[in-house]
């Protein structure tokens, strides 16, 4: 430890050269023992029951590419290559349903396997081993750290993409009859979504020249103050554009909640379910729905 500290305090050219020399020696060692170390590593992966979702062949090929990349990053030490490697790894592994914990464990296992092989190689010369580990440890830890971070980032990116997709998919504005739109809302309604929904609806009102809109919230699990106010705003804005809004599918719980939190829904036209809503809308538009009794006619 003492030697490491002094080295960090005064990173002289000499020390840097020595560090580089050791690292390249180390990399050469890892390259020479590639087969053996990789086997040891995959053995430990299966021993720890990691990657149980993959076949042994898949594990082997993944391990090979991870190993080669790992050694390469260790050699060049460039953060670009490191980031690229980590991103590539997470992109490949996340779709297979591998947990973050597993990935981190695998990378840490590889670090341990390689460290042990260094112990074995340099056990005769304790000082040299210390120096080699000084070169090896920071590089290896940086890789593990970077892999973990990029794995989390990739996860978050996937989640963001999915949220976006859900958001786009789940707010269709449908025309069921001339001048009649229905807007079935499914899923959690938060403030940004309510806002986006209102914007979409207003544009659709203009595009379809709608006079009546039926908003069905059967698929909304919960309504709070904010969402209720959002609904009131949607109704008001639609009215400004000359369209009447009918809200359907208010469940008993939601109706109770709304009354409890004291949202003023007096301006809203609410009916029980979508069917009634459409019937009401047709009445407003002057399309009376009459059942033709085919027994008599």
Partner 1 sequence: MAGVDLPEQEPLRVSILAQRAYLIASIHTALDDEHFERFQHDLIDQIGHRRARGVIIDVAALDVLDSFGSRTLRDLGQVARLRGAETVVVGIQPEVAFAMVKFGITLDSMYTALDLEEGLSLLDQLGSSGTELRRSRI
**By the rule CB under 8 A, 205 interacts with partner 1:** yes
Q: Which stretch binds partner 1 (CB under 8 A): 13-21, 34-42, 77-85, 207-215?
A: 207-215
Contact 44, 153 (CB under 8 A): no
All residues at 6 or more sequence positions from 68 whose CB lies less than 8 Å from its CB, including other chains:
34
* CA geometry: angle 178, 179, 181, nearest 5 deg: 100
Comparison of 162 and 233: residue with beta carbon closer to partner 1: 233
Residue 237 interacting with partner 1 (CB under 8 A): yes
Among 82, 93, 228, 243, binds partner 1 (CB under 8 A): 243
- The binder of partner 1 chosen from 85, 135, 211, 274 (CB under 8 A): 211
Decide: residue 37, CB within 10 A, 0-12 exposed, 13-18 middle, 19+ buried. buried
Pick the binder of partner 1 from 238, 245, 250, 263 (CB under 8 A). Answer: 238
In the complex, least distance from residue 229 CB atom to partner 1, rounded to whole angstroms: 10
Smallest distance from the beta carbon of 237 to partner 1, in angstroms?
A: 4
> Could you tell me the two tokens for 231?
């609904």
d(CA 109, CA 125): 25
Which among 15-23, 52-60, 230-238, 276-284 is the span making contact with partner 1, rule CB under 8 A?
A: 230-238
Size of the site for partner 1 (CB under 8 A): 19
Among positions 65, 242, 264, 272, the unique one binding partner 1 when judged by CB under 8 A:
242
Q: Is residue 268 within 8 Å of residue 245, measured between CB atoms?
A: yes
Show contacts with partner 1 in window 163-202 (CB under 8 A): 198-199, 202
* 209 binding partner 1? (CB under 8 A): yes
Choose the binding region for partner 1 from 31-39, 217-225, 241-249, 256-264 (rule: CB under 8 A).
241-249
Dist CA 150 CA 156 (whole Å): 10
Q: Which is nearer to partner 1, 131 or 198 (CB)?
A: 198
Which of 115, 117, 111 is closest to 148 using CA atoms? 111
181, β-bridge pairs: 175, 213
Smallest gap from Cβ 165 to partner 1, in A, equals 24
Q: Is 165 exposed, middle or buried (0-12, 13-18, 19+ CB in 10 A)?
A: exposed
CB–CB of 213/245 below 8 Å? yes
Taking the complex as a whole, the smallest distance from the CB of residue 190 to partner 1 amounts, in Å, to 16
Region near partner 1 per CB under 8 A, out of 2-10, 130-138, 236-244, 268-276: 236-244
Give the torsion through C-alpha atoms of 87, 93, 95, 101, to 10 deg.
Answer: -100
Least distance from partner 1 to the Cβ atom of residue 201, Å: 9
In contact, 59 and 42? CB cutoff 8 Å: yes
Query: What's the rounded Cα separation, in Å, for the pair 12 and 6?
Result: 10
β-bridge mates for residue 269, sequence order: 246
Is 104 a residue that touches partner 1 (CB under 8 A)? Answer: no
Q: Does 233 bind partner 1 (CB under 8 A)?
A: yes
Q: Contacting partner 1 (CB under 8 A), which of 34, 116, 123, 203?
A: 203
Residues that bind partner 1 (CB under 8 A): 198-199, 202-203, 205-206, 209-211, 233-234, 236-243
């Amino acid at each position: 430890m003492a030697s490491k500290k002094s080295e960090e305090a005064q990173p002289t050219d000499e020390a840097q050269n020595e560090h580089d020399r050791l690292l390249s020696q180390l990399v050469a060692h890892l390259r020479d023992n590639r087969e053996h170390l990789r086997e040891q590593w995959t053995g430990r992966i299966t021993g720890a029951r990691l990657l149980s979702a993959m076949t042994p062949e898949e594990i082997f090929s993944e391990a090979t590419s991870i190993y080669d990349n790992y050694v390469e990053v260790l050699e060049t030490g460039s953060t670009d290559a490191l980031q690229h490697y980590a991103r590539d790894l997470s992109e490949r592994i996340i779709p297979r349903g591998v947990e973050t914990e597993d990935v981190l464990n695998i990378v840490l296992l590889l670090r341990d396997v390689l460290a042990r092989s260094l112990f074995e190689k340099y056990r005769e010369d304790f000082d040299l081993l210390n120096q080699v580990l000084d070169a090896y440890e920071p590089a290896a830890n940086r890789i593990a750290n970077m892999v973990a971070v990029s794995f989390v980032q990739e996860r978050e990116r996937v989640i963001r993409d999915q949220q976006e997709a859900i958001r786009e998919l789940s707010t269709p504005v449908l025309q069921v009859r001339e001048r009649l739109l229905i807007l079935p809302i499914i899923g959690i309604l938060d403030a940004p979504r309510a806002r986006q929904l209102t914007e979409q609806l207003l544009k659709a009102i203009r595009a379809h020249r709608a006079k009546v809109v039926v908003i069905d919230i059967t698929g909304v699990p919960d309504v709070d103050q904010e969402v209720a106010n959002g609904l009131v705003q949607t109704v008001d804005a639609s009215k400004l554009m000359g369209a009447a809004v009918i809200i359907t599918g208010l469940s008993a719980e939601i109706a109770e909640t709304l009354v409890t939190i004291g949202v003023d829904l007096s301006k809203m036209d609410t009916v029980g379910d979508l069917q009634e809503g459409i019937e009401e809308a047709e009445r407003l538009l002057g399309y009376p729905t009459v059942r033709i009794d085919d027994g008599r006619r």
